[in-house]
Amino acid sequence: MSTAKLHREENPNFAEWIWEKWEISESNLYRLIDEWRVGEALANLGHKPLESHVRKMTELRRQTSDKVAITVYDTIARCRTRVTGDLVEKVVNDLGFLPKDADAADVSRRVRDLLAPPKEEEETETENEVQGDGVPNITSLGNDSPNGESSPNPSNSKGDPLATKDIKRLQDALGALQDAAKKVNKAAARRAVEAQPGVAVPLVQEIGSLLQQIDRAVAFKLPKTE
């Protein structure tokens, strides 16, 4: 709007036009525009971060890259049930200076290390997973294994708790999409639009928007599998 001066017919002064439209200053508008890329990317991952969280990630993006900033927040959100501004700020501060070419996977590992429970807690959890006779508790071991086999390690050597949760996310998403595919078809959608366009059209548009969001989320090069 500013570059093409599309506001001129309503008010030639861009700052005044912004205030009349949204009651925010021009500097605040540009700050929100700068934060939008990070906020949109996090929303596509299913997160609903507060603006203060996005602002901190935007600062990190300027220092490093979009991918690193998004990875940091995504890792925090999946390691904690509740994300607070203090937690986000502490993690970013504890990470310290990160170079422009910082590797996102390496940064994610560092974040997980920062959020890991103290060693004493880990030892207590390990003791709880062993029965009184020294035999590992099969129930607790199954939780760490994607296939639920009686083994202390996932069958995939690259597996970790975060990856296991991600597998569950994908399985749930696939199940929901399969159920939806059984209920929705082109004929049903057309009948609904013809009968009640005011109700059906927004529903069809929202379904299409969500499918595009899912498509963007899985639009990356996949490794070959045997």
Q: What is the DSSP letter of 130?
A: B
Instruction: Decide: 141 and 164 in contact? Cβ < 8 Å.
Output: no
In this prediction the pTM is 0.49
Tens digit of each residue's pLDDT, the chain (226 residues)? 878 888 888 888 888 888 888 888 888 888 888 888 888 888 888 888 888 899 889 888 888 988 999 999 999 998 988 899 899 999 999 998 888 888 989 999 999 999 887 665 545 554 554 444 444 443 443 443 333 333 344 444 444 666 778 888 888 888 888 888 888 888 888 888 888 888 888 888 888 888 887 877 777 777 876 6
Return the CA Rg of the chain. 24
The SS3 assignment for 136 reads strand
